[in-house]
Amino acid sequence: MNGNSTMGTNTPKPTRGKWATVLFISLGCAKNQVDSEIMLHRLREEGFHLTDRPEEAETVVVNTCSFIESAVQESIETILEAARLKEEGRCRALVVTGCFPQRYGRALIRRLPEVDLFLGTEAFGGLVEYLKALLSGGKTPKMVLKPEVGLWDQVQRRFLFSTPGTAYLKIAEGCSNHCSYCTIPAIRGRLRSRPLEVLLAESRMLAEEGVKELILLAQDTTAYGMDLGGKPSLMDLLPRVSAVAGLEWIRLLYLRPERISEDLLKMMAEDERICPYFDLPLQHVNRRILQAMHRFYDRAWVSKLIDTIRMTVPQAVLRTTMIIGFPGEGEGEFKELLDFISEKEFDHLGAFLYSPEEGTPAAALPNRVPEEIGRERLETLMERQREISARKNRERIGTVEPVLVSGTSPESEWLIQGRTRFQAPDVDGVVYITDGEPRIGEIVSVEITQAHDYDLVGKVVA
């Protein structure tokens, strides 16, 4: 998750306008961020002010996540914190959008009476008009969940608040996979791929705005086009996006392992603009656990896939995500996962504790893992990954890497940071630049001089 319940965090830089002042808080993943950027553009176009100061807000909009229990709790806490502004500050309207209202529906009207309006995941087209009505004393519905017609079939202009030089391109909405633990299909609906020409138009628009790194994503990026009979496919989209003038890096996130073809690997090996970055959310490697998750591969198959990737794409960098403590995971299953991590040595790995989500098949499974044991396993796994990451980072000392400069470090305004082709925003480490004066949003050559567990340190070279 890249959200934060602190008021003002994940809000864009202020702008001025003729309408009310809006504090916009975006929670959740990068896909949610794209939705937020569309809403922000529409607000700005209609003359709303944007602020990052809670005390100035006449309106608060919270774009929520509810993928897992921790995200639900973050959404609730953020909403209640925003509601206090109606009691203590200038705030006159509180709007909640996104996954949280889409998942829980009309029950929220009674449970959160402080909220003036709930909008579902694709119902934000009316946000501006609803806000105007609320602020002028007019009547609005309390909840709208019906999708905006043709939302993803059109070019969507956005107010970017990702790091300079980087933007996300949502190539599809929803998901038609049926992983037993996942709420996304119930919240976001089935897979709906966006038209290829629309995606190309958005790519060109973003490049014209100075974007150097375009990150393609969906809930299952490799499934792009499958709902359209396989045409267009990701293989049709990738080379055309790569050809857009001004784009230098194309990054893919959320690649379903079963759909990684030899043709895709060859394309990624041959096209220098496509980052050799493989984000494979494997979730586990034990056959029985994977079958219970409704993911139909096993350790041997995944091991062969990883070997094929590394052989076909010599510069390949691999990232994965694992679920710890899934029902039925005993010491043997966890040891198999730990051994696999040690054997394959992923460059980046994230893991989270299984959360039983209401309405999912996995929530009814027996043999739940006690939370204390799950947390111990999670800590053990991440300690093993820390050792792997630290060693891999040390191997990069003395190399020269292209780095996209993203701005000053949160730790010090005197320290510049950026990312290499093998580091995705928010989930991987960064490169701290200690020598040189690179321009933010540009790609520069950096010699790596130091290595930490997850981050690197370097200096700009000619």
CATH of 21-144, one of 3.40.50.720, 3.40.50.300, 3.40.50.12160, 3.40.50.1370: 3.40.50.12160
What string of DSSP letters covers 144-195? E-SPPTTGGGS-------SSTTEEEEE-EES-----TT--HHHHH-S-EEPP
pLDDT on residue 18 = 57
pLDDT on residue 13 = 54
pLDDT on residue 137 = 87
Neighbour-count burial of 107, counting CB atoms closer than 10 A to its CB (0-12 exposed, 13-18 middle, 19+ buried): exposed
Q: Which of 345, 342, 325, 344 minimizes the C-alpha distance to 333?
A: 325
pLDDT on residue 409 = 81
Angstrom distance (rounded) from CA 165 to CA 322:
30
Weakest-pLDDT range from 30-44, 96-110, 126-140, 291-305: 126-140
Class of domain 162-275: alpha beta
pLDDT band at 339 (very low <50, low <70, confident <90, very high): very high
Average pLDDT over the chain, rounded to an integer: 93
pLDDT at 25 > cutoff 80: yes
Domain range annotation of the chain:
21-144, 162-275, 281-395, 400-460
pLDDT on residue 437 = 86
pLDDT band at 10 (very low <50, low <70, confident <90, very high): low
Using one digit for the tens of pLDDT, what is the confidence trace for 343-374? 999 999 999 999 999 999 999 999 999 999 99
Using one digit for the tens of pLDDT, what is the confidence trace for 152-164? 999 999 999 988 9
Using one digit for the tens of pLDDT, what is the confidence trace for 395-447? 999 999 999 999 888 777 778 999 999 999 999 999 999 988 899 999 999 99
pLDDT at 9 > cutoff 70: no
Weakest-pLDDT range from 83-87, 270-274, 312-316: 83-87
Bridge pairing between strands 117-119 and 143-144 = parallel
What string of DSSP letters covers 313-344? STT-EEEEEEEES-TT--HHHHHHHHHHHHHH
114-119: average pLDDT? 96
Number of other residues whose CB lies within 10 A of the CB of residue 332: 10
Class of domain 281-395: alpha beta
pLDDT on residue 442 = 95
Statement: 400-460 belongs to CATH 2.40.50.140: yes
The reply to whether 400-460 shares the fold of 281-395 is no
85-99: average pLDDT? 91
Using one digit for the tens of pLDDT, what is the confidence trace for 258-291? 999 999 999 999 999 999 999 999 999 999 999 9
Q: Which of 411, 451, 413, 417 minimizes the C-alpha distance to 431?
A: 417
pLDDT on residue 12 = 54
**Across the strands, what pairs with 254?**
none
249-264: average pLDDT? 96
